[in-house]
C-alpha cells in the first residue's frame, strides 16, 4: 500500500502513527513545501523573540521519520492532484503515485488588497518558522511595527517583536482583540495587560493604505484617516485552508476540503485533516474548518486509521484556544459568544485588578462553552464536561469559583470522567 501525505505538521504526525499502528509494511511518503521537519508552530513567537533556539523547535524525536520508515520530501510543493491516475504533481515536474492520499496542508495567510502594499519590502505574514526567521534576520532594522489583526496570530507576532524591544501597535477591526475566541471582557483584560507592557492596541480600525517611498515603508493610514508612522507591517488577519492546488481534482472544496466522519473526501481513497479540512462541528451537523492544534491531531489519527483499513468516527470539532501573554493565561472552548444569548444561561465572574475572568455558557443544563482568564489550571475538567455533555445542575453554583475542581463533582461523575479507563478507582 502506498500512502502519501501532503503536509508535515500535527495532522500528518497523527496520521503516520495511526497508519503504523495498523500497517507496519506499507510505504509512507510525506511531502512538505517547508524545509523543516515537524515543529511546534505556537513556538515561532518565542523563536523570533530569542527565548528558544532553532534546536528546540522540533517536537518529535530525532528518529521519528526513520523509526516509522517515512520517505520525507521537504521543500517540495504539490501543485496538483490527479485523482483518476492517483498521482500528485510536484512543482519540480515530478509525480508521486498513491493508493491512499491525505491532504494535511494547513492554512495559507490571507493578505487582503491594501493600497500601497505591492512592492514594499518589510511586509510579512506570521504563520511559519521561516516567517519568524525572516523577521528575526532584519530585526536590527525594525523600530516600529504595525500588526494588522488582533487574533492569535497577530498577538503572537506582537509578542515576538516586543521581546526584541521593538515598538509594536496592533490594529484590530473588531471592538476587542481575540474577538473570534473570546468575549469583550476577556479581550479587554488581555489588551490591558499588553498596553501595560508597552504594546499599543487600536480597536475598531483597519489599515487602508501603506505609505512610503519605493520599497520602504514610512507609515500606514487607518480607515478613520489617522496616520501611524512605522517601518514594518505584519499582516495577521487570518488564514484560509491551503487547498488551491486541488482545482480540477474532483475533490469537493467549500470553505475547506469537505470530509465525512472518517475524514474521507468526496473522492474515495482521498482524505483530509487539520486546518485544511471542513469537518463536522461538535454541537451541530454543520461543517467548518477548525484551525485548532489538538483537533488537527485527532483528525489525522482518524484519517490514518481509515487509510489503513480500519475505522474510527470523528465526534466533531470543539473550538478551543489557549494562549498566554505576560504571564496571564487564557483559554476558551466551545460556544463562547452565542448568536442568540437568550437561548443560553451565561454566568460570569471577573476581578480586573488580578486579571481574572470566568464565563460559563450553559444550555439545557449542559455546559457548552467556557472562557477562563487567569486561573486555567483545571480547564481540562471543563472540556471533559462539554465533551461528555454532563448535566451540571448539581454543581452549577461552583463552576465560576476560582477553586472549582474535581472535589465539586458528584463521586459517581468523578469516577466516570476521570478514573483510569472510565472505571471507578
Span 150-173, pLDDT tens digits: 998 999 999 999 999 999 999 999
Q: Which superfamily does CATH assign the domain made up of 123-237 to? A: FAD/NAD(P)-binding domain (3.50.50.60)
Do 98 and 86 meet the contact criterion of CB atoms below 8 Å apart?
A: yes
Span 22-80, pLDDT tens digits: 999 999 999 999 999 999 888 999 999 999 999 999 989 989 999 999 999 999 999 99
Q: Is the pLDDT of residue 115 over 50?
A: yes
Q: pTM, whole model, 2 decimals?
A: 0.89
CB 170: neighbour CB atoms within 10 A?
27
Do 39 and 52 meet the contact criterion of CB atoms below 8 Å apart?
A: no
Q: How far apart are the C-alpha atoms of 95 and 424, rounded to whole Å?
A: 54
Residue ranges of the domains in the chain? 2-108+240-307, 123-237, 327-422
Q: Is the pLDDT of residue 182 over 90?
A: no
Task: Return the CATH class of domain 2-108+240-307.
Answer: alpha beta
- The model's confidence at residue 421, banded by pLDDT at 50, 70 and 90, is very low
Burial level of 160, CB count in 10 A (0-12/13-18/19+)?
A: buried
Span 389-408, pLDDT tens digits: 899 999 998 898 878 888 88
What kind of architecture, by CATH, is found in domain 327-422? 2-Layer Sandwich (3.30)
| Residue 35, pLDDT score | 95
Do 138 and 113 meet the contact criterion of CB atoms below 8 Å apart?
A: no
Residue pointed to by grid coordinates 475542581: 405
Q: Is the pLDDT of residue 316 over 80?
A: yes
Q: Is the pLDDT of residue 422 over 60?
A: no
Q: What are phi and psi of 336, to 5 degrees?
A: -110, -25
Contacting residues for 83 by C-beta, under 8 A, at least 6 apart: 249, 250, 251, 267, 270
123-237 has the same fold as 2-108+240-307:
yes
- The model's confidence at residue 419, banded by pLDDT at 50, 70 and 90, is low
Contacting residues for 22 by C-beta, under 8 A, at least 6 apart: 305, 308, 309, 310
Span 183-241, pLDDT tens digits: 888 888 888 888 988 999 999 999 999 999 999 999 999 999 999 999 999 999 989 99
Amino acid at each position: 500500500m502506498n500512502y502519501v501525505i501532503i503536509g508535515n505538521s500535527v495532522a500528518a504526525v497523527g496520521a503516520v502513527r495511526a497508519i503504523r499502528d495498523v500497517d507496519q509494511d506499507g510505504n509512507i511518503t510525506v511531502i512538505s513545501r517547508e524545509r523543516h521537519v515537524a515543529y511546534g508552530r505556537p513556538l515561532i513567537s518565542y523563536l523570533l523573540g530569542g527565548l528558544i533556539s532553532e534546536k528546540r523547535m522540533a517536537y518529535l524525536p530525532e528518529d521519528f521519520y526513520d523509526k516509522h520508515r517515512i520517505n520525507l520530501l521537504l521543500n517540495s510543493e504539490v501543485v496538483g492532484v490527479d485523482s483518476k491516475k492517483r498521482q500528485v504533481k510536484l512543482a519540480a515536474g515530478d509525480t508521486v503515485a498513491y493508493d491512499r492520499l491525505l491532504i494535511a496542508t494547513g492554512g495559507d495567510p490571507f493578505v487582503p488588497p491594501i493600497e500601497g502594499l505591492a512592492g514594499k519590502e518589510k511586509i510579512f505574514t506570521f504563520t511559519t518558522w521561516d516567517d519568524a526567521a525572516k523577521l528575526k534576520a532584519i530585526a536590527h532594522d525594525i523600530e516600529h511595527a504595525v500588526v494588522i489583526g488582533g487574533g492569535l496570530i497577530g498577538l503572537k507576532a506582537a509578542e515576538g517583536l516586543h521581546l526584541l524591544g521593538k515598538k509594536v501597535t496592533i490594529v484590530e477591526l473588531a471592538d476587542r482583540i481575540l474577538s473570534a475566541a473570546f468575549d469583550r471582557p476577556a479581550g479587554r483584560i488581555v489588551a490591558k495587560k499588553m498596553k501595560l507592557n508597552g504594546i499599543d492596541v487600536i480597536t475598531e480600525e483597519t489599515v487602508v493604505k501603506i505609505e512610503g517611498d519605493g520599497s520602504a515603508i514610512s507609515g500606514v493610514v487607518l480607515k478613520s484617516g489617522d496616520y501611524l508612522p512605522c517601518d514594518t507591517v505584519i499582516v495577521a488577519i487570518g488564514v484560509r485552508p491551503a487547498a488551491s492546488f486541488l482545482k480540477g481534482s474532483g475533490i469537493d472544496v467549500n470553505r475547506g476540503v469537505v470530509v465525512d466522519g472518517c475524514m474521507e473526501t468526496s473522492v474515495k481513497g482521498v482524505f483530509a485533516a487539520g486546518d485544511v479540512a471542513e469537518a463536522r462541528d461538535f454541537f451541530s451537523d454543520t461543517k467548518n474548518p477548525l484551525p485548532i492544534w489538538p483537533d488537527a491531531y485527532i483528525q489525522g489519527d482518524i484519517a490514518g486509521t481509515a487509510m489503513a483499513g480500519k475505522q474510527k468516527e470523528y465526534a466533531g470539532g470543539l473550538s478551543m484556544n489557549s494562549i498566554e501573554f505576560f504571564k496571564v493565561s487564557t483559554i476558551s472552548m466551545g460556544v463562547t459568544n452565542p448568536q442568540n444569548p437568550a437561548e443560553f444561561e451565561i454566568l460570569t465572574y471577573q476581578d480586573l485588578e488580578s486579571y481574572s475572568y470566568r464565563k460559563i455558557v450553559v444550555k439545557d443544563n449542559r455546559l457548552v462553552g467556557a472562557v477562563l482568564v487567569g486561573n486555567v489550571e483545571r480547564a481540562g475538567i471543563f472540556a471533559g464536561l462539554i465533551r461528555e455533555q454532563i448535566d451540571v445542575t448539581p454543581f452549577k453554583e461552583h463552576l465560576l469559583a476560582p477553586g472549582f475542581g474535581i472535589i465539586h463533582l458528584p463521586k459517581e461523575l468523578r469516577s466516570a470522567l476521570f478514573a483510569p479507563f472510565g472505571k471507578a478507582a
